[in-house]
Structure 1
C-alpha cells in the first residue's frame, strides 16, 4: 500500500514538473526570438518590408534599390496572408535599415540590426544556429555600416527579450456583430520585468490609419459606424524598447447597414393609455437622402415593414400616387402604432393641419396653413369678416351655433369652399415650400408593439442590416 502511494505521488510530481516545463517553454520559447526583415507580396505588384510583424509598402523601385534589397528575396503569399499583417507607414529612403536586416560592409563581418544597433555575428555557427539565411545578407557601403551604432555581439544562447501579447475579451474570430460599440481587453507578458511595465499599441484595420499608443491601458473601445470587415491588432512593448513581433489579432465583421446611425430612432412615446396612440420618431442625421421603404422596425414582440406613402396628398386621397419614403437630410418620420385616421401614409405639407380637426392624430399635425389676405374676403359682410378673423390656422369653420352666419348664404358658401384641405391643396400645391419635412407612417398594430416599461427597438434596412437600436 505504501509503495503504491509512493508511486502515485511520484507520478503526480513528474506531471507537475512536465507542466512547469511546458509553461516555461510557452513563455520563453525553445530559442529566443530574433528579428528578421522579410520582403513579401501578394498577387498584386505591391512589395512590402515586414518589420516586427508590421508590413510597410515600398512605394517605388528607387526606395527598393536604395536599401539594396534583392528582388529574388521577395516571398509571395496569398492576399489573405499579406492582409493579415497590419499596415504601417510607407517605407521611405530616409528610414533606417529595418529591424532584422543582415548587413555586411567591405569586409566579411555580418551584422544583425536590432533596436537600431548592429550586432556582430562572430562566426558561421552562430549565424546558422540562429536560422539566418546567407542569401538575405545585404552588402552596403562601409561608411554607411559604421554610421550605425554597434551593440553586443550575437550569441547562440540569446535570452528572451521580446514581450508577448494576448487578447482576453472582445468579438470572437470571424464573429458577425450587429452593434458598432466594440470593446477589447488585452494583456501581455514581459520577460525583462513586471508585466505592469508594458505599454500597448492598437491598430484596427478598416478604421485606424496608424498604430495608436494606449500606454498602460488594457482596454480599447470603438464606436464603429460603417459595416464591413475589421481586424484588431494589439502589441506590447517593454521599457527596453522590444515590441511583440507577432501582434495578437482577431478579425470580425460589423454586419450593420451603410446607413448605420445615419437614421436614428428618437423620442419613443410608449406609455399611452391606448397602445395604438404610441409612436416613435426617426430622423435622418446624415447628409444624403435615404429611402426607408422596405425597412423594418422590431420590438421584443413584433417586426413591421415600412410600406410606401403618398408624397403629394391630393384630394380625394385615393387619387394620390404612392412613392418610396425618402428622408432628406434633417427629415423625420413619425411612426405611429395605430391605424391612419385617413387610411394612408403621407408626407405632411402646409395644408395637412386641416386633417386633424378632432385631434385624431397623435402627435398632432402642425397647424400653420396659409392665411388669407383681406382682399380675398373684404367683399363679405362685416359679421362674416369678423368670423373669419377669429378662425385659428387650419380650422374648418363650425358656425352651427352662429345664427347670423347661418343665414348669410354668401358667407357660408365662402367658408365651406375656402377653409378645407382640398381647396388649400389646390391653391398652394405648386408653392416651392408646400411640402414639409415630416412623413407620417402607420403600422396598423393590433397588439401593443412598444412595451410600456422597457424594450429594445431595432431599425434594419432592406438587407436586414442594423441601422439603429434604441433601448429604454
Structure 2
C-alpha cells in the first residue's frame, strides 16, 4: 500500500512538471489572461535562443592609425596619377652595347614647380632586372660637403641613367663649374655647361699688371699653368685658388644659377642593361607603381 502511494506521488510530480514546462513553452498565440494587471493582451514576445547570447560583437570602429593609413594611401594614389602625366622616359642611347655609353633619360615636366623625392624609385628592363636610382652628391669633387644627398627632382629636371661606372665614383648633380671634370675624363652624355672665366673672378685688384694680363688670357674650365715666377707669389696663389674646380665652387656656390637641373646616375654594371634589339623600360615608384615606360623595337 505504501509503495503504491509513493509511486502515485512520483507520478503526480512528473505530470505536474510536464504541465508546467509545456505551459512555459507554449506557442506564440496571445495570452487569454495576463499574468499581471499591467500585462499587454495580444502582444507576442520574441523567443530568444540561448545561442543569441554568444553572437560575435560588432567590429570595432576604425582607429586613428587606420584612418591615417587609408588617407596616406589615397594621397599616394592621387600623386601617382599626377606623376604618370609628368614623368617620361627617353631611350636616348639605350641601344649601345657598351655599358659606359649606354644610357636613358628620365624627364619631369609638371605644370607647377613641384619637386619629387625619387631616390627609392626603380628602373627595370623587360627581363625583370631592376635598379634603385639611389642618392647623389650636390657638390661632386669637394671634400668639405657630404657626398650623399637625396635625389629630389624639380620641375624641368632630367636624369641621365648610365649603365656603366662613374668616372668620379659617384652620382652627381650638374653645376656651373662641372666642366672642369671633362679635362681628364669623358662623360656620356657630355657635361653641357660653361664655367665662369677666370678673367671675371673677383680679387684681381691686388694683382700686378703682368699677373692681371696673364689671368685675362686663361681658358675657362681649364686648370691653368702656373704663372711665370717673376709675376710673384701673390699671382701664383691667385691662379691656383681661382682657375680650378674647387676655386670655382668656392666663388660661385651661392649663385642662384649654380645648380643645373641635370643629374648623372650610374648603375655601375659591367654589361648591358637594355637590349639593342627591342626593349621596354619602366620607371616605378617606391610602392612598385609604374609611373612611366618606354618601348622600342
Query: TM-score band, normalised by the shorter chain?
Result: 0.5 to 0.7
CA distance in 2, matches of 1:374, 1:430: 14
1:448 is aligned to 2:275: no
Match of 1:396 in 2: 223
CA-CA distance at 1:334 after TM superposition:
1.3
1:460 is aligned to 2:287: no
CA contact (8 A) 1:310 1:323 kept: yes
Cα distance 1:440–1:374, how it changes in 2: closer, same or farther (>3 A)?
Answer: closer
Q: Which runs of 5+ in 1 are unaligned?
A: 1-225, 229-255
Q: Deviations over 1:373-406 (max 9, x none)?
A: 3774462453x5455334332122246xxxx747
TM-score, length of structure 2 as denominator length? 0.63
1:162-241 to 2 correspondence within 5 Å?
Answer: none
CA contact (8 A) 1:284 1:329 kept: yes
Match of 1:116 in 2: none
CA-CA distance at 1:283 after TM superposition:
1.0
1:283 is aligned to 2:110: no
1:322 is aligned to 2:148: yes
Number of residue pairs the alignment of both structures matches: 214
The runs of 4+ residues in structure 1 deviating greater than 3 Å are 374-378, 384-392, 404-413
CA-CA distance at 1:227 after TM superposition:
6.7
Structure having the larger proportion of residues in helix: 2
Match of 1:221 in 2: none
CA-CA distance at 1:443 after TM superposition:
0.9
1:133-152 to 2 correspondence within 5 Å?
Answer: none
CA-CA distance at 1:305 after TM superposition:
0.8
Taking only aligned residues, the RMSD between alpha carbons, in angstroms, comes to 2.9
CA-CA distance at 1:450 after TM superposition:
2.1
| Higher Rg of the two aligned structures | 2
1:74-113 to 2 correspondence within 5 Å?
Answer: none
Match of 1:356 in 2: 182
CA-CA distance at 1:273 after TM superposition:
6.0
Structure having the larger proportion of residues in strand: 1
CA distance in 2, matches of 1:407, 1:447: 53
1:425 is aligned to 2:249: yes
CA distance in 2, matches of 1:282, 1:367: 19
CA-CA distance at 1:323 after TM superposition:
2.3
CA distance in 1, matches of 2:231, 2:155: 48
CA-CA distance at 1:407 after TM superposition:
6.5
CA distance in 2, matches of 1:377, 1:264: 46
Structure number with higher relative contact order (C-alpha < 8 Å, ≥ 6 residues apart) = 2
CA distance in 1, matches of 2:209, 2:103: 45
CA distance in 1, matches of 2:289, 2:201: 55
Cα distance 1:380–1:440, how it changes in 2: closer, same or farther (>3 A)?
Answer: farther
1:416 is aligned to 2:240: yes
